[in-house]
Amino acid sequence: MRRVLALATAVLLLAVAAPASAAPRVIVLPGATSAEGITAAGGGEYYTGDLIAGTIFREDVRRGTAERFIEAPPGTMAAGVDLDHRHDLLFVAGGKGGKAYVYNVRTKAKVADYTFGDPQTSFVNDVAVTPYGAWFTDSYHPQLFFVPVVAGVPGPPRTLPLTGPGAGGSPENFFMNDVIATPSGDKLLVAATTPGKVYTIDPLTGASKEIAGLTAPSVASMVLEGHCLWAVQLDDKITRWHLDGDLSNATPAGTITDPLFDQPVSAAKIGNHLAVVNSHIYSGYPPTSPTYEVLIVDA
């Protein structure tokens, strides 16, 4: 851990004397006890969640700064996050207890509080916003949860049972982690950390298919842009993949590594760069790193 912090300090000092492109930028989340999801807020700003404490941070990647944006009450978690830009709604996967939350980012007020699945065994790990609403994963059950958004108001949830190879997970078996969607929302992609696989999901039927050729051990999350997929892996790498037209097959397109990676858990695209969240999750649970940070690296 000291090695990572020493490198982070060196990078910050270099950033003062050299152009931003000369080294990755490190944005420390003030007072964070952990770090998990990230989503673009617009205008060079991003939201990141503190998994254990539930705090929502807002980062300005142009300035390299971060602030505590929404303070959550004790017992609240923040795993994956995604923003409905049309309605200024931040959807937060709430982790344990099958919880999920929705905040209005203009007022910082919580506007919805959900309990999905079985409160004793469901772990709501990630969320993806589509034109119709938000989809949430359950890491211990083969199901997704959907919250519709009508006229800017989150509605009552429904559960989508999954079938096919992506229908893994049980109260004793951690499976699904991240979920993302195509821009139209007509296809979902989910990442299964333990087998290191990615599956497509039909949001109408729940039928799943494995993306052939794609193996990403310890995959925690994904970024999709056109037919390029970045798989963020807890084993300190991000692999690039090129997907075919119907997203059924993948070919490798490179690997991103960085000495500052410390169990990267999520990422968001910034032009030709990625904003990558370090989780330090292998330091323990709860994690015990003295700092948690967002790294800006070449995509």
18 pLDDT more than 50: no
CB neighbourhood size of 22 (10 A): 10
Q: What is the CATH number of the domain that holds 227?
A: 2.130.10.10
Say what the pTM is.
0.92
225 pLDDT more than 80: yes
* pLDDT tens column, 278-292: 999 999 999 999 999
Q: What number is the average pLDDT over the span 261-269?
A: 98
Helix (H) or strand (E) holding 14: helix 2-17
What's the full length of the chain, in residues?
299
Q: How many domains does the chain have?
A: 1
228 pLDDT more than 70: yes
* Token code pair at residue 198: 């990615």
Contact residues for 220 (Cβ-Cβ < 8 A; gap 6+): 177, 178, 191, 193, 232, 233, 234, 264, 265, 266, 279
Q: What number is the average pLDDT over the span 75-81?
A: 97
Omega of the bond leading into 286 within 30 degrees of 0 (cis)? yes
Say how far apart CA 151 and CA 6 lie, in whole Å.
49
Q: What is the pLDDT of residue 179?
A: 98
Three-class SS of 58-86: EEECCCCEEEEEECCCCCCCCCCEEEECC
130 pLDDT more than 60: yes
Q: What is the pLDDT of residue 24?
A: 61
The boundaries of the domain holding residue 217 are 2-298
